[in-house]
Amino acid sequence: MNNIELIMDGFYNYLKKERGFSYHTITAYRNDLGRFITSLPKSLFELSQIDREMIYDFLSDEFDKDYKAKTIARRLASIKSLFKYLISSEQISSNPSINIKTPKVVKKLPNFVDIKVIDKLMKIPNTKTDKGLRDRAILELFYSTGIRLSELANLDFSSITINKNKNGKENYIIRVLGKGSKERIIPFGNEAKNWIDKYLKTRGFSIHSGLGNSPLFANSKEQPVAYSTIKRRIRNYIKLVAEGEGLGPHILRHSFATHMIDRGADIRSVQELLGHSSLSSTQIYTHIKPEGMKKIHAQAHPHGK
């Protein structure tokens, strides 16, 4: 293993242990930076030898290969993160990426589906089977909370907290570790709770079982359902009720945010629920229908009526 490989391994280890990045995020970094390192002159044997022109040359080649601006912007972000790490760990003295501007990326509205489509989607899994019950519970919780697929795949019994109010009514909450190992708390409703309980009964459990680190959603061997399995099954269900491109699990997260804001939820509250670090990431969901905006204005503004 050469010096560059050792440094790169140190960087990926830093992303995992210090930044708390997920396996999938680190894999994306490996892909981006692997392409960048491969593009460098073969005579280069130290990362400190990299200059601004080498970075520009790499980005230019990526444009020539017809990669989208969004992809190239992500590659540059990975490069900037690497050099920021090298500076902070005092492995280099100057940062060649510091003044390189990120390609302008046009933000597209995220895919989402109407509530009527959501209702149809929930009825697709065959709930007469154990897998169908599990899939229905996953879909309900996914839409009820808007969490990321990776977060959902990592849920266990300890992720669920049940509180009772003064009237003895139970409130259901999940705790997830999002990007950067930041914990957030998200409530979910009776619909999701009821389907989770129906599913857990097939395993001889209930939502109150308190089994600690046992997976909330498990396969036949009581191991966590694989991320790829959940992704594939949800995508297949969505294709049965919606048409177009980008029909993946993220649609449930986008629909959660859109429907919350459409119905008057405070954007900062939605930001907190989604685990967005900046408000600008959440503002993309404010594509509220005119009639919905009019209703919200009438309810909230002193002269709205």
At residue 117, does pLDDT exceed 90? no
Verify that 168 and 280 share a domain, yes or no. Answer: yes
- 16, 179, 184, 235: the catalytic one is 179
Please give the pLDDT value at position 107: 55
Q: Quote the CA–CA distance of 8 and 35 in Å, as a whole number.
A: 13
Q: Quote the CA–CA distance of 195 and 212 in Å, as a whole number.
A: 20
Q: Has residue 101 been placed in a domain? A: no
Please report how many Cα atoms fall inside a 13 Å half-sphere around the Cα of residue 288, on the Cβ side: 21
In this structure, what CATH number is given to the domain that contains residue 129?
1.10.443.10
pTM score above 0.75:
no
At residue 288, does pLDDT exceed 50? no
Question: Side chain identity at 298, as an amino acid letter?
Answer: A
pLDDT level of residue 1 (50, 70, 90 thresholds): very low
More confident residue, 8 or 166: 8
At residue 27, does pLDDT exceed 70? yes
In this structure, what CATH number is given to the domain that contains residue 83?
1.10.150
Verify that 161 and 14 share a domain, yes or no. Answer: no
Which candidate, 123, 133, 32, places its Cα nearest to that of 75? 32
Q: Has residue 202 been placed in a domain? A: yes
Verify that 73 and 120 share a domain, yes or no. Answer: no
More confident residue, 142 or 263: 142
- 74, 136, 193, 276: the catalytic one is 276
Strands 170-177 and 160-164: antiparallel
- 74, 250, 254, 259: the catalytic one is 250
Please compute the mean of the pLDDT values over residues 243-253 and round it to a whole number. 77
Q: Has residue 102 been placed in a domain? A: no
- Residue 23 bears catalytic tag: no
Chain centroid, CA 157 distance in Å = 21
Verify that 163 and 123 share a domain, yes or no. Answer: yes
- Residue 287 bears catalytic tag: no
Verify that 45 and 166 share a domain, yes or no. Answer: no
More confident residue, 177 or 284: 177
Q: Quote the CA–CA distance of 110 and 108 in Å, as a whole number.
A: 6
The residue among 72, 88, 104 that closes a domain is 88
- Residue 276 bears catalytic tag: yes
Verify that 120 and 265 share a domain, yes or no. Answer: yes
pLDDT level of residue 287 (50, 70, 90 thresholds): low
pLDDT tens across 73-93, in order?
999 999 999 999 999 999 999
Please give the pLDDT value at position 131: 94
Q: Has residue 220 been placed in a domain? A: yes
Instruction: Please give the full DSSP string across the chain, using - where no structure is assigned.
Output: --HHHHHHHHHHHHHHHTS---HHHHHHHHHHHHHHHHHS-TT---GGG--HHHHHHHHHHHHHTT--HHHHHHHHHHHHHHHHHHHHTTS-S--TTTTPPPPP-PPPPPP---HHHHHHHHT-S-TTSHHHHHHHHHHHHHHHH---HHHHHT-BGGGEEEEE-TTS-EEEEEEEE-GGG-EEEEEE-HHHHHHHHHHHHTTT--TT---TTSBSSB-TTSSBPPHHHHHHHHHHHHHTT--SS--STHHHHHHHHHHHHHTT--HHHHHHHHT-SSHHHHHTT----HHHHHHHHHHHSTT--
Q: Has residue 304 been placed in a domain? A: no
Q: Quote the CA–CA distance of 77 and 113 in Å, as a whole number.
A: 31
Verify that 125 and 202 share a domain, yes or no. Answer: yes
Verify that 81 and 220 share a domain, yes or no. Answer: no
Look at the chain and report how many structural domains it folds into: 2
**Portion of the chain with pLDDT greater than 70, in percent:** 88
Verify that 77 and 127 share a domain, yes or no. Answer: no
Verify that 126 and 262 share a domain, yes or no. Answer: yes
Q: Has residue 109 been placed in a domain? A: no
Most confident range (mean pLDDT) of 110-114, 120-124, 180-184, 251-255 is 120-124
More confident residue, 265 or 224: 224
| Of 8-12, 15-19, 43-47, 149-153, minimum mean pLDDT range | 43-47
Residues 6+ away with beta carbon under 8 Å from 211: 156, 157, 205
Tokens of 297: 């204005």
- 136, 148, 233, 259: the catalytic one is 148
DSSP bridge partners of 176: 184
pLDDT level of residue 272 (50, 70, 90 thresholds): confident
Verify that 132 and 254 share a domain, yes or no. Answer: yes
| Of 87-101, 126-140, 170-184, minimum mean pLDDT range | 170-184
- Residue 70 bears catalytic tag: no
Q: Has residue 108 been placed in a domain? A: no
At residue 304, does pLDDT exceed 90? no
Please give the pLDDT value at position 162: 87
Q: Has residue 285 been placed in a domain? A: yes
Q: Give me the domain span that covers residue 176.
A: 115-297
Verify that 183 and 41 share a domain, yes or no. Answer: no
